[in-house]
Structure 1
Amino acid sequence: MNTFDQSNFHTICDELAGKDADLKMVIDTYGYPPMWSRPNTFETLVHIILEQQVSLASALSALNKLRERIQEITPSRVLLLTDEELKACYFSRQKTIYVRYLAEAMLTGEINLKHIAAMPDDAVRNCLTTLKGIGNWTVDVYLMFVLHRTDVFPSGDLAAVNALKRVKQLPPETTKEAVALIAGQWAPYRTVATMMLWHWYLSCPKKVRR
């Protein structure tokens, strides 16, 4: 299980830039990407669930509202809230179900985040996707931001896929298979390459990224 941290993150960026002129352009234009990182906690998984199919700002707003209400975001505290109280924290009906399910799985020991951190990528995916509301995108973000696994490309992430197409000057109709082949050229550092793409997406003018 290969991982990255602050000590080798820029070195990996440089290695990728040395092999791919388009990624070099990202660094030359906008500098190194942030090394996005989150702790291995229940709160982090709740945050990632909230980010599914909504803006990052909306998800953070809901997370902050929840923290405001219960101070510390733990499985037991979340389960004490009614559906109406979670709705007041901007949780949709579906996300209320997903977060309750996750909280129960952690309290019963069905999910143990310390144990998961020691598993290979595929085992992490198999374990987490058994939970209601956790699919491949959620697992991809968890592997990248929390466990810092080096070789994940989130094929279901629109920002990453669109950034790849724009940076590589590919037509919008480029297939998922073609995108996966290009991302495959960045192995074993697809996670860091994706962070470079996100950095480009967040840094460039909106009219350029469309």
Structure 2
Amino acid sequence: MRVAASKKEAPAPLPGQPTYWAEACKHLAKKDRVMKRLIPQYSDAVLQSRGDAFATLARSVVGQQISVKAAQRVWERFSALPETLTPEQVLRLRVDDMRAAGLSARKVEYIVDLALHFDGGRLQPERWSGMDDEAIIAELVAIRGIGRWTAEMFLIFHLLRPNVLPLDDIGLIRGISQNYFSGEPVSRSDAREVAQAWRPWCSVATWYIWRSLDPLPVNY
């Protein structure tokens, strides 16, 4: 008697990983020729939340307007300064030490202001799970140094929101140019049109576009 082979199930997501990843990848591979090619190439990892709202936002501030590699170097030096990376500990740091770690004077101001918002209870992370993306962005951009790009990185990397399209991200635009337009210049309108096929999983597609530029997984 022939026994039917059991269907191999995808491994269960680990803590801090999106529960929707396998479903999103299946949708993207079906709807988009580039995603069909990219997803199997980078099946070694998925989006991963660090589980720390303050650290994710601070890391995003550090990464503003500098390369991923440069941001990683500065972050490693800065995050080693406090005993633990908490708002309270960051507020105890000396400005000179933060500058010596590679932070600009402006970024020091931004991170201190961010720490004050968390330490003073002006941000209430427990509310975010019940808020839509745009409402969270509006709350975050009211903080000095937090623009839309930083808020979108937070939505993707901390809250694991599935349908974020960060059109201000240079890497996303460059990746769309290389993968869809043979390296020709790409406008925000062009990128938005490409992303129509990605919905409702723009965050996942963006992550694979980033991977196509740098095999190391992007993380904040």
Query: Which TM-score band (shorter chain)?
Result: 0.7 to 0.9
Q: Specify every segment of 5 or more residues in structure 2 that has no aligned partner in the other structure, as ranges.
A: 1-15
SS in 2 for 1:76: helix
- Please give the TM-score of this superposition, normalised by the length of structure 2: 0.83
Q: Give 1:43's match in structure 2, choosing from 13, 33, 55.
A: 55
Which residue does 2:71 correspond to in 1? Answer: 59
Which residue does 1:108 correspond to in 2? Answer: 120
- Please give the TM-score of this superposition, normalised by the length of structure 1: 0.87
Distance 2:104 2:199 in 1: 37
Q: Give 1:27's match in structure 2, choosing from 21, 28, 39.
A: 39
- 1:77-127 CA distance string (max 9 Å, x none): 211222212112211111001001111111221112222343210110000
Q: Give 1:183's match in structure 2, choosing from 195, 209, 213.
A: 195
Distance 2:70 2:183 in 1: 30
SS in 2 for 1:69: coil
- Which of these two proteins has the greater Rg computed from alpha carbons? 2
Q: Which amino acid aligns with 1:111?
A: L
Q: Which amino acid aligns with 1:130?
A: A
Instruction: State percent identity of aligned pairs.
Output: 26
Q: Give 1:15's match in structure 2, choosing from 4, 19, 27.
A: 27
Q: Does the Cα contact within 8 Å between 2:79 and 2:85 map onto a contact in 1?
A: yes
Q: Which amino acid aligns with 2:169?
A: D
| 1:1-210 matched pairs, under 5 angstroms | 5-31=17-43, 34-170=46-182, 172-203=184-215
Root mean square deviation of aligned Cα? 2.1
Q: Specify every segment of 5 or more residues in structure 1 that has no aligned partner in the other structure, as ranges.
A: 205-210
How many residues of Structure 1 are paired with residues of Structure 2 in the alignment?
A: 201
> Runs of 4 or more off by more than 6 Å in structure 1?
none
Between 1:159-168 and 1:61-70, the stretch displaced more is 61-70
Taking a change above 3 Å as real, the CA distance of residues 100 and 142 of structure 1, as seen in their structure-2 partners, is same
Distance 2:32 2:44 in 1: 15
Taking a change above 3 Å as real, the CA distance of residues 190 and 77 of structure 1, as seen in their structure-2 partners, is same
Q: Which amino acid aligns with 1:202?
A: D
Which residue does 1:207 correspond to in 2? Answer: none
Distance 2:131 2:69 in 1: 31
Distance 2:52 2:197 in 1: 29
| 1:175 CA drift (Å) | 1.7
Q: Does the Cα contact within 8 Å between 1:33 and 1:195 map onto a contact in 2?
A: no
| 1:174 CA drift (Å) | 2.7
Distance 1:40 1:112 in 2: 13
| 1:170 CA drift (Å) | 5.0
More helix by share: 1
Taking a change above 3 Å as real, the CA distance of residues 155 and 78 of structure 1, as seen in their structure-2 partners, is same
Taking a change above 3 Å as real, the CA distance of residues 32 and 14 of structure 1, as seen in their structure-2 partners, is farther
Taking a change above 3 Å as real, the CA distance of residues 32 and 191 of structure 1, as seen in their structure-2 partners, is farther
